[in-house]
Amino acid sequence: MPPTRGLTLGQLLEVPSLGLALVSEAPVSAVVTGAHTIEIDHPGRWLKPGSVMLTTGLRWVGVPLPDRHEDDLVEELIEAGVVALLFGIGVHLDTVPSRLVAAASARHFPVLTVPADVPFFRVEDVVNSAVIGPDSYPVRRQLWLQNDLLRALADPQPVAALVQRLAYFVKGTAAVYEESGRQVAAVGDGPTRLIWSELATRGHGRLRFAVGRWHVLAQPLSVRGVGYWMAVASRRESTIEEVGDGLLESAERIFSAVSGIQALSATATWAEAAQLLQQLVEGVTTESEIRVWDRLRAYRFAPRFPVRMLWAVPRSQAGRARGEGDDLTALYDEAHVAGLPLVLAAHSDDTRDALAGEGTVLHGMVADNGALDEWLAVLARTHHVGLSERFTDLVLARRQDRDARRASQVALRRGHYGLGSAGVAPDPEAGTIVRFEDVDLATWLLSSRGQEATAEKVRQQLAGLLEHEDLVETVIAWLGRGMDIQATATALYLHPNSVRYRLRRIEEILAVPITSPTVIANLYLAFHDQLAPH
């Protein structure tokens, strides 16, 4: 169906600067040929067919309800060929009289509201300019749409603001999806999940389809190598046909600009974060502490509020959740929403533990407030996390940073060997989180050495014992159960005498009594990571 030449009521409704709204049940397809403001009685003879009448409702001020005769006005305007009544609210009346709306709806006559801050001459200018140059109206309409969409760039949440404006223009729903189907933003009461289901099955390219009573227009786009879908939906098919293509084309460019600005801002944030963390690691003096706190204000830190240093090591590939990566932007967003001060940066670490998985080592400082645990749960989806003790004096940051790194190695080993913290079984779908104050002395001592160095020392000292798997299994079970022979036998499905026999064999190999404090300490450290918590 070819587009109608000239300005229609539906197009007039879409002009952002006018803010018009339809309040009666009526079609908006009629072409507008003029606009006139009239407050006198019997206006029909003064209006030409195809025009719209503007009024502030002055005729009803002080007039009793029975004497207003709203239905007579509607009949007169219809007989005169007037295509709509535009009612300026907030001047004499705050709302359109309900009887007028009812009478107009009964005759399917459009009644539109004009906001109080929009002068009537602005409506008249739009209508009259379209009448004088009908061919240029689509160009002007596209400029209006683009200018309003561009305002989203100034919003603190530009993507959400852009989607809000898209939904407004189609008088329905708008949504942006990642290629995975996750909704980046959505506005309106349309069936966004059903829309995505259709997008996921229909393929690529710009798509038009219907979901129930909703008419949908969608197109894929790619920003910085990441794929998205943008969709608008309206119950009016004519709205999608008239403005949908132009809206999506403009919105795609603005979305790309928003993403570019956010990426630039994020890059600057990460660079500043890396510099701040480097300064903290190198050491903060008493004289420089105030200046460092001032720089941390940009990350919402308050001076002397308790903080912790943080190191996060990637989980093994088998334990990582599909689709979740080392996304600093997402982690900063989570912290921002939760009200958690955070400075975080990716760390190029060439000395990572051999147990670490693929991904990025993260280094940071975080406030120790009520939002910390929830944010750590998000980080633990992809990382094992180590935290220092709480501190408020930045002069201590260097030492606390070393402790956080040791805690991350403890977390990595516990995650690798399936050990929980403080006797709590670990979550197989999440990384391990370790706070340094919860690390016992033996674990602290071991964390100062790499896994390979520790393993080499164990091989050197206990080579004879390591040749016998049954004896190693026995000593681990025995130590893990407080050196209780009966409990060890039960765990290994052995007779207690069999356990005593194995322990004597261990003594023969080591050539020292197994109950010697030194031997027990050495065995405990050697098999520390394999000891199950009880």
The closest of 223, 221, 229 to 180, measured between CA atoms, is 229
Q: Is 253 a domain residue? A: yes
- Closest by CA to 313, choosing from 276, 258, 359, is 359
Of the residues 80, 107, 132, the one at which a domain ends: 132
**What is the count of structural domains for the chain?**
4
**Residue 138 binned pLDDT confidence (cut-offs 50, 70, 90):** low
Instruction: Tell me the C-alpha distance between 14 and 20, whole Å.
Output: 8
Q: Is residue 113 part of a domain?
A: yes
For residue 293, the model assigns a pLDDT of 92
Asked if residue 403 belongs to a domain, the reply is: yes
Residues 164-190 pLDDT 10s = 888 887 889 999 888 878 888 899 999
**Residue tagged 């229609």 (tokens):** 8
Average pLDDT over residues 345-362: 65
Distances (CA, A) of 424 to 316, 432, 439, 531: 21, 11, 14, 13
Residues 233 and 348 in one domain: no
Q: CATH number, domain at 323?
A: 3.30.70.260
Residue 354 reports pLDDT greater than 60: no
Instruction: CATH number of the domain at 227, please.
Output: 3.30.450.30
Tokens found for residue 54: 């503007």
Give 240-285 pLDDT, tens digit per residue: 887 788 888 888 877 777 666 555 455 666 778 888 899 999 999 9
Average pLDDT, the chain: 81
Average pLDDT over every residue of 425-452: 67
- 181 vs 117, more confident: 117
Range of the domain at 150: 138-260
Instruction: Determine the pLDDT at residue 11.
Output: 82
Least confident of 122-131, 237-246, 360-369, 440-449: 440-449
Average pLDDT over residues 357-361: 72
pLDDT of amino acid 330: 80
21-22, strands of its sheet edge to edge: 21-22, 111-114, 84-88, 51-55, 34-37
Q: What is the H or E stretch that residue 311 is in?
A: strand 307-314
Strand 84-88 with 111-114, pairing: parallel
Instruction: For residues 297 and 370, state if they share a domain.
Output: yes
Report residue 212: phi and psi, to 5°: 65, -125
Shared-domain flag, residues 119 and 153: no
Give the separation between CA 79 and CA 90, rounded to whole angstroms. 28
Residue 338 has pLDDT above 60, yes or no: yes
Q: Confirm whether 202 is domain-assigned.
A: yes
Domain shared by 28 and 125, yes or no: yes
Instruction: Find the mean pLDDT for residues 20-45.
Output: 90
pLDDT at 148: 63
Instruction: Please report, to the nearest 10 degrees, the dihedral formed by the alpha carbons of residues 331, 332, 335, 340 taken in order.
Output: 130
> Residue 484 falls within a domain, yes or no?
yes
Q: Are residues 162 and 145 in the same domain?
A: yes
Q: Are residues 111 and 242 in the same domain?
A: no
Question: With b meaning 16 or more CB within 10 Å and e meaning fewer, what string describes 305-318?
Answer: eebbbbbbbbbbee
User: Is 281 domain-assigned?
Assistant: no
Start-end of H helices in 370-513: 372-379, 397-416, 441-447, 451-461, 463-466, 469-480, 485-492, 496-510
β-pair type (361-367, 433-435): unpaired
d(CA 454, CA 441) in angstroms, rounded, equals: 16
Tokens representing residue 369 in the block: 């407030």
Question: Are 417 and 379 in the same domain?
Answer: yes
pTM, two decimal places: 0.45
Domain edge (last residue) among 410, 433, 448? 448
Separation of alpha carbons 395 and 400, rounded Å = 10
Helix (H, G, I), strand (E, B) or coil at 309: strand
Residues 317 and 297 in one domain: yes
CATH number of the domain at 43, please.
3.40.1390.20
pLDDT higher than 90, residue 78: yes
pLDDT-wise least confident of 18-32, 489-503, 504-518: 504-518
* Cα dihedral value 475, 478, 480, 486, nearest 10: 160
Q: Check residue 59 and give its pLDDT.
A: 85
* One domain for residues 115 and 183: no
CA distance 307 to 428: 28
Q: Which two tokens stand for residue 170?
A: 């189609």
The answer on 194 and 54 residing in a single domain is no
Range list of β-strands (E), 84-235: 84-88, 111-114, 173-178, 183-187, 207-211, 214-223, 226-234
Check pLDDT > 90 for residue 82. Answer: yes
Both 441 and 294 in a single domain? Answer: yes
* Statement: residue 220 has pLDDT above 80: yes
Residue 166: per-residue pLDDT: 84
Residue 7 CA from chain centroid, whole number: 40
Strand partners, 228: 178, 221
In degrees rounded to 5, what are phi and psi of residue 258? -60, -45
Cα-based distances in Å from 220 to 148, 223, 226, 251: 22, 10, 11, 12
CATH number at residue 463: 1.10.10.2840
- Cβ atoms of residues 118 and 54 within 8 Å: no
CA 126/CA 137 separation, integer angstroms: 9
Query: Do 351 and 426 belong to one domain?
Result: yes
Residue that terminates a domain, selected from 418, 448, 478: 448
Residue 87 confidence (pLDDT): 96
pLDDT at 523 (0 to 100): 78
Report the pLDDT averaged over residues 11-22.
85
Q: What is the pLDDT of residues 468-500, one digit of tens each?
A: 888 988 888 888 888 899 998 998 899 999 989
Whether 276 is covered by a domain: the verdict is no
End-to-end, the C-alpha distance of the chain in Å comes to 76
The neighbour count for residue 121, using CB atoms within 10 Å, is 12
Per the domain annotation, does 3 fall within a domain?
A: no
DSSP state letter for 3: P
For the segment 184-208, the average pLDDT, to the nearest whole number, is 87
Q: Pseudo-torsion of CA 189, 153, 112, 117, nearest 10°?
A: 140
